[in-house]
Structure 1
Amino acid sequence: MLKLPPPIWTLIYLLLGAALSWSLGWPRPSGLPLPPLGMALVVIAFVPPVWALVLFRREGTEIEPTSPANRTLVTSGPYRFTRNPMYLGLVLLALGIALWVGAWPMFLAPIAVFATTNWVHIPFEEAKMRRQFGASYDDYTARVRRWV
């Protein structure tokens, strides 16, 4: 699962949710104002990852999670609130799209994105960061939660 980056997994899960929704006739929960909330969440979802990307560029460190090493342990910006702002953005994006579309099978996508990042990608990255940055990384993880 590490061979495909999380944005690709997000797209796959969204497409599978759409295919399942289509095959079931786009079943919708009733009574909820889902599209406006979904649209707002899609917009908000871009803030943490874009902020993180800009910060990574400024710090001159690698964005690719499978890179052999990172030049810098980034702990500022969105990393003061969450250790995974890029993955948080993907989960919010998938949830926003699910709300926007409003078909209940689409809600499987954000759950799958969360599960894949939380139990596959993040443990791999945390082990790499711990090997590379040692006590500094441990101090950081003691201060900042994995998600929010």
Structure 2
Amino acid sequence: MGWGRAYFALQACAGALWWITVFTIPAVRHATLGGLDPWLVAAADVPLFVVGSAIAATGSRAAALITTSWTGLVTLGLAVYATATTLAGWGAVLMIAATAASVLASLLVWRERIPTEWLLVGPFRSREADADASPARNVLATAMQIVVFWGVCLGIIPLVIAAAEERWRLELGVPPEVPILGVVLFVAASALGLWSAAAMSTLGGGTPLPIETARRLVVRGPYRFVRNPMAMAGIAQGVAVGMMLSSWLVVVYALAGSWVWNHAIRPHEERDLEQRFGDDFRTYRAAVRCWWPAWHPASASIAPRVPSR
């Protein structure tokens, strides 16, 4: 059985178990459905979610599509209901997770693989920076990218998530030291991110984003210690923002984003680097680890022998 079909089988069992607890445990019913009539919701959800998932587990593409569409619709409805009433917050969170997993499982059922190349659009579309661009222009472009991405990914989105967490009554009490530690972590991670961006824009002849990717392989600065210092910085910043906001959902958002980047974006990025820089990148990859920084910087012998084309 493929992974997509296996997930739908698991979802069918989990859905059936959830409905049993809804009708037998009032606390579960209140936390996930609030004041909604469970019989009315079950009349549609049992056939479309539970039975539909079971049929999708047999490999039915139509059932996978119908079940995933219904899951998304329920998620939207529960999110609106939880925001309006402050009830059923846990139900909204669980359905958000179910929708994301159902989409991935449906892709596996339909295509037998997850087409991660669909993510390579917009700022993630790979294109070398203009060869005539000056270092000052690359630094300015990098600064603009940082302002936009930090503002959206570390500002707007976490604030929206934290507001929903509060509105949906999902806050978890945290010690008063956590936000302070979050500030310390954010400052340290931001310093790493800025150091990495400076190295990429001044030494690489480009910017950190693939849409204006560096023309030269950067193996100096923080890249001597770890291959993905900007990604590490971004993950740590996201976790730090969650700590500062005392929001566990923001921490989950940061970790989920790191999972997507590692499994969906990074493989394409490293294939592109290997294609463009060949043995230079393979030597660098063998000498410097992807995520775990070395205590001592890599030897200067890993520096590219020739400049990028």
TM-score in terms of structure 2 length: 0.43
2:226 alignment partner in structure 1: 82
After the TM superposition, list the runs of 4 or more consecutive aligned residues in structure 1 that deviate by more than 6 angstroms. Answer: none
Deviations, residues 2-31 of structure 1 (Å, cap 9, x unaligned): 335583783475255324312323512444
Q: How many residues align?
A: 147
- 3-state SS of the aligned residue for 2:211? coil
Q: Give the counterpart of 2:211 among 66, 85, 104.
A: 66
Partner amino acid, structure 1, of 2:184: A
Q: Classify 1:60/1:137 alpha carbon distance in 2 versus 1 (closer, same or farther; 3 Å).
A: closer
Quote how far apart the aligned CAs of 1:62 are. Answer: 1.4
Q: Classify 1:104/1:81 alpha carbon distance in 2 versus 1 (closer, same or farther; 3 Å).
A: same
CA contact (8 A) 2:189 2:234 kept: yes
- 1:28 to 2:28 alignment: no
Hey, what's the Cα distance between the residues in 2 that align with 1:35 and 1:138?
41
Deviations, residues 16-49 of structure 1 (Å, cap 9, x unaligned): 5324312323512444621111011111111122
Q: Which structure dedicates a bigger proportion of its chain to helix?
A: 2
2:236 alignment partner in structure 1: 92
Q: Classify 1:122/1:51 alpha carbon distance in 2 versus 1 (closer, same or farther; 3 Å).
A: same
Deviates more, 1:86-95 or 1:55-64: 55-64
CA contact (8 A) 1:49 1:85 kept: yes
- 3-state SS of the aligned residue for 1:147? coil
Hey, what's the Cα distance between the residues in 1 that align with 2:166 and 2:120?
29
Rg (Cα) greater in structure = 2
Hey, what's the Cα distance between the residues in 2 that align with 1:61 and 1:73?
9
| Larger RCO (alpha carbons 8 Å, 6+ apart) | 1
Where structure 2 has 5 or more consecutive residues not aligned to the other structure, the ranges are: 1-118, 125-148, 293-309
Quote how far apart the aligned CAs of 1:77 are. Answer: 0.7
1:1-148 correspondence to structure 2 within 5 Å: 1-3=119-121, 5=123, 7=149, 10-11=153-154, 14-15=158-159, 17-25=161-169, 27-31=171-175, 33-63=177-207, 64-67=209-212, 70-148=214-292
CA contact (8 A) 1:90 1:113 kept: no
CA contact (8 A) 1:38 1:99 kept: yes
Where structure 1 has 5 or more consecutive residues not aligned to the other structure, the ranges are: none
2:16 alignment partner in structure 1: none
2:37 alignment partner in structure 1: none
Q: Classify 1:86/1:22 alpha carbon distance in 2 versus 1 (closer, same or farther; 3 Å).
A: same
Hey, what's the Cα distance between the residues in 1 that align with 2:265 and 2:244?
27
Partner amino acid, structure 1, of 2:235: V
CA RMSD, Structure 1 to Structure 2 (Å) = 2.4
